[in-house]
Structure 1
């Protein structure tokens, strides 16, 4: 099975747009909010399970790619009334995803970032459910994102508590 094929074909224009938005958005946030974030991250007191700073851009690039593919698949398979129902939580979670970096790194609001990430986790879960109702593969493609954000939620909380 080719995960890029929907109904036996690939719409490269729509696929590219759905992948470009989270990847380019993540890169823009990286430039605006995460400047010097790797240095900041290294200076914070961290729990024993904290990964090295270089892991984050690698993981996020993969996650943005898979969520873009999931959005493409769900959008391509959705009936007209389903498209909006699935697009709204996806767009909200993507906005929350981008906001988190500003809260945590740029503004140093670690507690607020933790609360915001809990809301993000809820929206990702809703998005995953909506996508899976339309296309099982789209739902499955969102699962690594749920797992990573669950991990990041614990990491955010721990860093907040260790650096009060």
Structure 2
């Protein structure tokens, strides 16, 4: 890989990673405030530490994917495709396909950022679910268009759309649980000493002290 290709790869991965950095800023604010922890989540919700490595991997795959498309565009601008075959008759059409594919990729990347802003920043799971539908469609469109240009580039996005599908399920489930008013309340860590020497903490939706052993319910 020559220096020019390496530079393009770094730029492509950095642009994708920047979307993740912007989104994570809103995510961290929601986590630090305790809002996300207070939400009731579905049983299939993975542990929090999973999300960071998964999204990092997906942004890396996105960067490599769009880099392959850039490389294909560069090859065709010189009259050849990635296999060195002349494409003079279809050069204009191919350039148009590549540009459209890159625009759709950019749109899905922007939608990716806005999902974090809506879900974590605005704290609106309902609006975020509507937005993630458009994100999913944009990813699908990107995969279809990339496949016509570079199949490896399209395949690199398959884990992304699978994960966003799962994220859509989590988003919808949290939204429905929140609508039912099932948000957990974060109670203070106070304790009440019981007559038998044991202690009980605050619990329940009103953060009342739990009953001591032997007390009537």
> Is the pair's TM-score, using the shorter chain for normalization, greater than 0.5?
yes
Considering only aligned residues, what root-mean-square deviation do their CA atoms show, in Å?
1.7
Which structure has more relative contact order (CA 8 Å, sep 6+)? It is 1
SS of match in other structure, 1:35:
helix
How many angstroms does 1:37 deviate by?
Answer: 3.2
Q: Which has the higher helix share?
A: 1
SS of match in other structure, 2:28:
coil
CA distance in 1, matches of 2:170, 2:19: 23
CA distance in 1, matches of 2:70, 2:101: 8
> Structure 1 unaligned runs (5+)?
none
How many angstroms does 1:30 deviate by?
Answer: 1.4
**1:118-133 superposed matches below 5 A:** 118-133=133-148
**1:95-134 superposed matches below 5 A:** 95-134=110-149
Does the CA contact (< 8 Å) of 2:125 and 2:171 recur in 1? Answer: yes
**1:78-89 superposed matches below 5 A:** 78=73, 79-89=94-104
Counterpart selection for 1:92 from 92, 104, 107: 107
> Structure 2 unaligned runs (5+)?
74-93, 180-217
**1:1-164 superposed matches below 5 A:** 11-31=5-25, 33-38=26-31, 39-78=34-73, 79-164=94-179
Larger Rg: 2
CA distance in 2, matches of 1:17, 1:82: 22
How many angstroms does 1:41 deviate by?
Answer: 2.7
User: How many residues were matched structurally?
Assistant: 157
Cα distance, 1:137–1:10 mapped onto 2, change above 3 Å: farther
